[in-house]
Amino acid sequence: MEMDHDYLMIRIAKDKMKVELDIRKDDDLPFPLSREVLLEFLQHHHVQFGINLELIEQVAAAEDTTLFPILAAVGTEPIKGEDGQVLFDKPYTHTINDKEKVSFRDIIHIPSVEAGERIAVIVPPGPGTPGENILGEIIQGKPGRAARMIAGENVQMNPADNAFYARASGQLNIRGHALNVLPSYEVNGDLDMRTI
């Protein structure tokens, strides 16, 4: 059916993610406001994805122009991928929870590692999930951000398994984005204020 475009009006969002249909003139339409007319008008403007058929049928059944403007179609937004992360093989904490009572020895846990031992692995970022605009065009989702960690003192990064390994025995240490293994010091005797 040929439509009088002087009566129907379409607004496509700049990002092509939403379509609004409206009536240009308030007086009576020269054609019946049917589901077919509205869908044909959308198709004429290349709208092919995310069409709200339920709303279009509701508007057509009511034949009421006061329901306009209507949001006739909505695209699917792309989803950003999950960020990468560094997973430690041994628990490593250096935070203090001031709401809990803890003993001094529980405040910081710094694991010791042996030479050749795997310390941590980098989990790569996830890919984004694509979306689709109302014209049926695919919009690529952005991948997540890569985890930032580099091999520091006495640490080696193995690109084959994306893992960090200790090159010497010692205590794990993180400075900025650098993963280090610092030498362990042995204290002969009891640890008290005199040994500091």
Q: What are phi and psi of 73, to 5 degrees?
A: -155, 145
The partner residues of 181 in beta bridges, in order of sequence, read 172
Range in 36-50, 108-122, 176-190 the model is least confident about: 176-190
Both 104 and 180 in one domain: the answer is yes
Hey, what long-range contacts does 62-68 have (CB within 8 A, 24 or more apart)? 63/32, 63/33, 65/23, 65/26, 65/29, 65/33, 68/21, 68/22, 68/23
pLDDT of residue 66: 80
Domain, as residue range, for 154 = 85-128+143-195
Instruction: Choose one of 33, 53, 74: the last residue of a domain.
Output: 74
Q: Is the pLDDT of residue 147 over 80?
A: yes
Q: Is the pLDDT of residue 108 over 90?
A: no
Q: What is the pTM of this model?
A: 0.67
Q: Is the pLDDT of residue 152 over 70?
A: yes
Mean pLDDT throughout 84-96?
78
Both 123 and 100 in one domain: the answer is yes
Mean pLDDT throughout 104-132?
84
Q: Is the pLDDT of residue 191 over 60?
A: no
Q: Is the pLDDT of residue 187 over 60?
A: no
The verdict on residue 79 lying in a domain is: no
**Residue 78 in contact with residue 140, Cβ under 8 Å?**
yes
CB atoms within 10 A of CB 78: 17
pLDDT of residue 91: 82
